[in-house]
Amino acid sequence: MRTVVDASVSVKWYFPEPGHLAADALLAEAIDGQRELLAPDLIVAEFTNTLWKKIRREECSDDDAEQILDLWEVDRPRLVETAPLARRALELAVRLGQPVHDCLYLAAAIDHEAALVTADVRLARAGRAVLADLLLID
């Protein structure tokens, strides 16, 4: 099963945040070959920025963040290019009143005939208008 995950989900693979058990289960399914994880290449910047925020809030050390980034390079979803998703993402953003960067995940799910898993409540609420297979983990 193809599944698009956003940065809010992939961060939970490494931090014991609410929803981390569900996120871990998705990763385990991907490792077992039961699920193909995808994400727009934007996830690289978003994931890395979240690590930076966690360092600034002293939720992890610089060294821990470096190690997590190394692990994520192995675990991360298969990246899909954002440029081909831009037009659809803009249309979705205008229609749904959501930021384009969030709508890139929706566009990826639509274009790749995949489910979308997110921990972003606003994205999940808006996304259900255009994507039936959407799961909110929290």
**How does the average pLDDT of the chain come out, rounded?**
96
Would residue 129 be called left, alpha or beta, if left means φ above 0 and alpha means ψ between -120 and 50 degrees? Answer: alpha
- The reported pLDDT for the residue numbered 121 is 95
The CATH T-level fold of domain 2-136 is Rossmann fold (3.40.50)
Model-level pTM? 0.94
- Residue 22 CA to chain centroid, in angstroms? 13
The pLDDT confidence band at residue 3, using thresholds 50, 70 and 90, is very high
Could you tell me if 38 and 3 are in contact, meaning their C-beta atoms sit under 8 angstroms apart? yes
Q: Does residue 138 have a pLDDT over 90?
A: no
Helix/strand/coil (H/E/C) assignment for every residue in the chain: CEEEECHHHHHHHCCCCCCHHHHHHHHHHHHCCCCEEEEECHHHHHHHHHHHHHHHCCCCCHHHHHHHHHHHHHHCCEEECCHHHHHHHHHHHHHHCCCHHHHHHHHHHHHCCCEEEECCHHHHHHHCCCCCCEEECC
- The reported pLDDT for the residue numbered 12 is 97
pLDDT tens readout for residues 53-89: 999 999 999 999 999 999 999 999 999 999 999 999 9
Where do the domains of the chain lie? 2-136
